[in-house]
Amino acid sequence: MSDRARVARLTALAVGACLTGCVESGFRPATPVTVATSTAALEVEVLDLGAGLIVSKPDGLESVGGTVVRVRWHAREDGTGIARAFLSPPAAAPCTAGLVARAIDVDGQTRWDRPVGLGREHVVAFGFPWDDRVTAEPLVLDVDVRGAGGPACVRLPLTGGGTRYVARSNFVAGAAAGLEVGLRAHGGGALFFDGIVGRWAGPLRFTVRAGLGAGVGSRVASGDDDSSLNSSPKWVDLHLAPELSILPFVWGSRAIGITASYVVATATSGSGTVADPERDTDFMGPRLAVVLAHVLPPPLGASAHRAADAVGLELSLLRASAWPSGSGGVTYVLGLGVLFW
């Protein structure tokens, strides 16, 4: 895959994460990773590592996804500066090789000056272009520091060497939209839009999914109910579903997930006229879905089965106790949607 495609995918993930509530994504070290240096009289601690938008232009028109490393910066004196930063393999000579930080952000401000002038206490975020090796190979963060004592290179071990990472937050939020089709004759179809909230518990993802659907379909003539013969009811429905999801199969940034849920819904159709009487249909039933996802690969040292962010396709089958365009009875409903986790 080309670099452009990778960046596009990552940007989509980061934007997707933000669209779904800007949930704190990313991973923090399970045990503190801190480096102190006497040359530059400072201490640097890794706060977290993850994907994010590197807002590289002030107008916000050009934002690209990449790897963001955030550190807590504690200097004993004012006036130290950051000239450059690198993500590199541990074997590289310090501050000479690897990915060069494209953006340096200090306490929420993207900084233009180089060296970036700093005071004593800051949170500094380094934005790097995306590279798949970030999630698979041991890495260090090299910070080229300029201080009163002269230039120094501060090296922080990021991944590898037994460093474990855990997700910053167990809270999850997502969204889904797609199409559902009743598999019976005259089953009709519906568009659905769902919001998803919940949390991870180990490798299990417990969520509640709620949303609305809007459908159309030919109603099956039932008995001597002439009013419904050949009519095409339109309906709206509200639905709610507790869900349990897992990501058992993960290969790098590709994953297959399985979601089981139980859907409870109520639908209203008809215009309320004699020819088209209003009709309520309550339905419920189990729903099973397979998710083909592009996940944000976690860093080396974190569980691969707990995607921080994902975007993918969801193929689902619902066994509904009824269906708004049906004449009653069990209907199987096939769904296809786009999912942001």
Partner 1 sequence: MGTVALLAFACATTQREAAKSPTVCDRGLCARIVSRELTNVVELEVAAPPNVALFNAWVAVSDGPPCRGGRALNAVGARGGVRMKGPLPLVAQQKLKLAFTLTLSSGRFLDLDVRGPAESICLRLPVDASPAADAGVAEAARHE
Q: Which residues bind partner 1 (CB under 8 A)?
A: 56-62, 106, 109-114, 117
Cβ pair 155, 308 in contact under 8 A? no
Cβ pair 162, 305 in contact under 8 A? no
Closer to partner 1 by Cβ: residue 98 or 335: 98
What's the min distance (Å) between Cβ of 109 and partner 1?
5
Closer to partner 1 by Cβ: residue 90 or 115: 115
Structure tokens at 234: 């339109």
Eight-state DSSP code of residue 298 = P
Closer to partner 1 by Cβ: residue 106 or 241: 106
* CA distance linking residue 288 with residue 303, whole number of Å: 24
Cβ pair 76, 41 in contact under 8 A? yes
Q: Between the CA of residue 237 and those of 183, 297, 308, what are the distances in Å?
A: 18, 36, 30
Closer to partner 1 by Cβ: residue 59 or 224: 59
What's the min distance (Å) between Cβ of 113 and partner 1?
4
Strand partners, 260: 244, 288
Structure tokens at 325: 């365009």
What's the min distance (Å) between Cβ of 8 and partner 1?
16
What's the min distance (Å) between Cβ of 59 and partner 1?
4
Q: Which of 62, 54, 51, 6 lies closest to 26 in space, CA to CA? A: 51
* CA distance linking residue 124 with residue 100, whole number of Å: 15
Closer to partner 1 by Cβ: residue 8 or 258: 8
* CA distance linking residue 42 with residue 36, whole number of Å: 6
Helix (H, G, I), strand (E, B) or coil at 227: helix
Closer to partner 1 by Cβ: residue 21 or 117: 117
Helix (H, G, I), strand (E, B) or coil at 264: strand
- The residue with tokens 């201080």 is 147
Closer to partner 1 by Cβ: residue 98 or 198: 98
Length in residues, the chain: 341
Closer to partner 1 by Cβ: residue 56 or 227: 56
What's the min distance (Å) between Cβ of 11 and partner 1?
14
Structure tokens at 269: 């159709």
What's the min distance (Å) between Cβ of 40 and partner 1?
19
What's the min distance (Å) between Cβ of 23 and partner 1?
24
What's the min distance (Å) between Cβ of 306 and partner 1?
34
Cβ pair 207, 174 in contact under 8 A? yes
